[in-house]
């Protein structure tokens, strides 16, 4: 969990009083409602739950805990907001001396990982890096390393730093039988602040087990969504060249630098945050986004582009060839191909309109409705009048609709960004997470949950929850909030504050599980079986066919039973 001080501060803060300083709050149900300060809100869309210590806006999707609110409204970093609240509620935080101590410890950990990469046990990691064209020179420059596949490698090597310090940095995790290494059998990327000091780590799996990338949780040195990977190396080039090239992954950054694009930095995910936008704005006013095609058009990345725009940056989007990311493009086709792609970058509004054309059939009414709905989701987040004008005009043209009508439609209520309490029937996936966070999911179902079953924006929540659960905790939404990046925190708050009432909650929880998890899995297996049966029929494998058909029948019976529960 995040440091005990964070929990202590949050438990003493009165979130209604805090938010009430900025927003007029009126009682509504179990919580309070008010006008959201983060988007032009003419109906009260902001909900605050004193019981859960969370807030959420059903208009623009912002949300989180008390610290998150203060960070956002006062534009503070996590430590700043924490310090301010701590002072108000009389919690004494450990001072700056501790921060220095943690920085020293973090640097020692980076050295340890670097050493292990060069040790005999690091062979597979070295081979992996070399196979991706990342040579020894890069290892040093980027602070690459290896976490050996042991439970106590780092724990023993850095014992002199004290286990509390290692835990505070998120490098070791407490389990039932004491502490163990968080990172095992992974290639390590050192995350450094813009001064080049190691503050956190991310590990990439070498095998199939566990998540592909694993990060440390929020620590006193590091808040998710506040860093840009490689900024310490890239900042001079960004200033000199008058632009930053924003990519998604660690290896994208490393490969672009190797190909001569030293102004590349990594967002570490598609969902950009305001903190990242402000950080970038300190060095340049122009950003070229180079995400792979699918990622660039995703809702999270479009929101991120708006955030950059709102921070005063000129945003252009590069169109990568289908199936390529900057890493593969730079390594496969060389710097000229990258230059060509970057030079063809389009301004954000042009990219957005073109991406609507690509994704919807605008000759049909349904296609036009879809495109309009998507523009509407982005609309409340855009404050810039010229950009709004440009978008409304472009959209009207695209949809062959009168411009005035398009404006009215964009401003109107209609489909909210995220499902609000007034709309009925949340999706089974949302309900599963809601019940999980409420501690109302049947205990025996929890081992069945798999991170990859959930949509990408929910995965950090599920991943972290399960991690803590395996370590013997069942964190509440409020506790979990301190561990997540702002985007995930907003989802967490919404899911936790879903207003759903069931006469039989246990039944509702297991229904949600059936519809989100068990039925789709069964359907997938049935589809596989159908293919195997067709194949066996063609090959005339009698015995095999009988066995497959028996399994098919059995699964059909099970499906009927699952469906029958609803009747
Ligand atoms: Zn809002």
pLDDT digits (tens, 9 = 90+) for 176-205: 888 999 999 999 999 998 889 999 999 999
Confidence of residue 234 (pLDDT cuts 50, 70, 90): very high
Give the pLDDT band (50/70/90) at residue 419: very low
pTM: 0.65
In the chain, the largest separation of any two C-alpha atoms, in whole Å, equals 78
Q: Are 223 and 172 in contact (CB under 8 A)?
A: no
* Residue 195 near residue 228 (C-beta atoms within 8 A): no
Question: Cβ(113)–Cβ(147) under 8 Å?
Answer: yes
**What's the gap in Å between 148 CA and the centre of ligand 1?**
45
Instruction: Specify the DSSP element, H or E, that contains 239.
Output: helix 231-241
The pLDDT score that the predictor gives to residue 565 is 64
Which contiguous run of DSSP H or E holds residue 172?
strand 172-175
Is residue 240 predicted with pLDDT exceeding 80? yes
Q: Please, is 240 exposed, middle or buried when counting C-beta atoms within 10 Å of its C-beta (0-12, 13-18, 19+)? A: exposed
Tokens, residue 41: 């809100």
- Ligand 1 centre distance from Cα of residue 46 (Å): 6
Give the pLDDT band (50/70/90) at residue 413.
Answer: low
Q: How far is the CA of 23 from the centre of ligand 1 (A)?
A: 12
The answer to whether the CB of 257 falls within 8 A of the CB of 266 is no
CA dihedral (439, 440, 443, 446) positive or negative: negative
Lowest mean pLDDT among 16-30, 236-250, 418-432: 418-432
The mean pLDDT value for 390-399 works out to 93
Is residue 77 classed as helix, strand or coil in its secondary structure? coil
pLDDT at 417 over 60: no
Strand order in the sheet with 213-215: 144-147, 186-192, 198-205, 213-215
Distance (angstroms) between ligand 1 centre and the Cα of 57 equals 5
Q: In which residue are the tokens 């970093």 written?
A: 77
Q: What are 137's two structure tokens? A: 């020179």
User: Residue 40: how many CA atoms within 13 Å on its side-chain side?
Assistant: 12
Write down the mean pLDDT value for the chain.
88
Distance in Å, CA 56 to ligand 1 centroid: 8
The pLDDT, as a whole number, for residue 421 is 39
* CA 296 to ligand 1 center in whole angstroms: 24
> In the structure, what pLDDT confidence band is assigned to residue 17 with cuts at 50, 70 and 90?
very high
Spatial contact of 278 and 321, defined as CB atoms under 8 Å apart? no
Q: How far is the CA of 40 from the centre of ligand 1 (A)?
A: 7
């Amino acid at each position: 969990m995040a440091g005990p001080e964070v929990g202590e501060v949050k438990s003493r803060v009165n979130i209604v009083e805090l938010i009430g300083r900025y927003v007029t709050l009126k009682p509504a149900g179990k919580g309070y409602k008010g006008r959201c300060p983060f988007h032009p809100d003419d109906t009260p869309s902001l909900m605050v739950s004193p019981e859960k210590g969370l807030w959420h806006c059903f208009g623009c999707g912002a949300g989180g805990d008390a610290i998150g609110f203060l960070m956002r409204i006062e534009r503070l970093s996590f430590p700043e907001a924490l310090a301010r609240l701590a002072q108000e509620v009389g919690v004494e935080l450990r001072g700056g001396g501790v921060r220095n101590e943690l920085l020293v410890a973090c640097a020692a950990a980076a050295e340890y990982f670097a050493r292990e990469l060069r040790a005999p046990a690091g062979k597979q990691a070295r081979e992996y890096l070399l196979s991706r064209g990342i040579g020894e020179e890069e290892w040093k420059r980027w602070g690459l390393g290896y976490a050996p596949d042991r439970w106590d490698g780092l724990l023993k090597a850095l014992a002199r730093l004290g286990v509390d310090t290692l835990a505070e940095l998120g490098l070791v995790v407490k389990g039932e039988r004491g502490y163990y290494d968080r990172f095992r059998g992974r290639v390590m990327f050192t995350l450094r602040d813009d001064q080049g000091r190691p503050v956190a780590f991310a590990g990439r799996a070498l095998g199939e087990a566990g998540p592909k990338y694993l990060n440390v949780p929020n620590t006193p040195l590091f808040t998710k969504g506040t860093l840009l990977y490689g900024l310490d190396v890239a900042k001079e080039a960004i200033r000199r060249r008058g632009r930053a090239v924003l990519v998604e992954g660690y290896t994208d950054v490393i490969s672009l630098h190797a190909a001569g694009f030293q102004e590349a930095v990594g967002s570490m995910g598609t969902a950009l945050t305001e903190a990242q936008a402000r950080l970038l704005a300190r060095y340049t006013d122009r950003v070229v986004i180079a995400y792979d095609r699918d990622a660039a058009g995703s809702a999270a990345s479009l929101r991120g582009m708006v955030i950059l725009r709102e921070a005063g940056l000129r945003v252009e989007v590069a169109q990568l060839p289908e199936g390529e990311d900057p890493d593969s493009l730079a390594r496969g086709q060389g710097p000229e191909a990258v230059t060509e792609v970057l030079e063809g970058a389009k301004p954000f509004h042009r990219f957005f309109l073109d991406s609507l054309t690509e994704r919807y059939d605008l000759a049909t009414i349904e296609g036009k409705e879809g495109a309009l709905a998507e523009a509407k989701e982005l609309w409340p987040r855009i404050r810039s009048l010229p950009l709004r004008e440009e978008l409304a005009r472009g959209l009207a043209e695209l949809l062959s609709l009168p411009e005035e009508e398009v404006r009215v439609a964009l401003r109107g209520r209609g489909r909210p960004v995220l499902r609000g309490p007034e709309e009925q029937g949340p999706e089974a996936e949302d309900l599963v997470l809601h019940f999980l966070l409420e501690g109302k999911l049947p205990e025996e179902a929890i081992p069945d949950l798999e991170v990859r079953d959930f949509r990408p924006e929910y995965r950090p929540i599920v991943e972290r929850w399960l991690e803590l659960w395996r370590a013997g905790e069942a964190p509440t939404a409020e506790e979990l909030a301190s561990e997540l990046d702002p985007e995930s925190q907003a989802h967490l708050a919404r899911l936790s504050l879903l207003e759903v009432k069931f006469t039989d909650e246990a039944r509702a929880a297991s229904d949600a599980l059936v519809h989100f998890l068990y039925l789709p899995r069964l359907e997938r297996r049935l589809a596989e079986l159908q293919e195997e049966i067709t194949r066996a029929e063609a090959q005339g494998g009698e015995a095999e066919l009988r066995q497959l058909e028996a399994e098919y029948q059995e699964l059909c019976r099970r499906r009927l039973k699952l469906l029958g529960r609803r009747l």
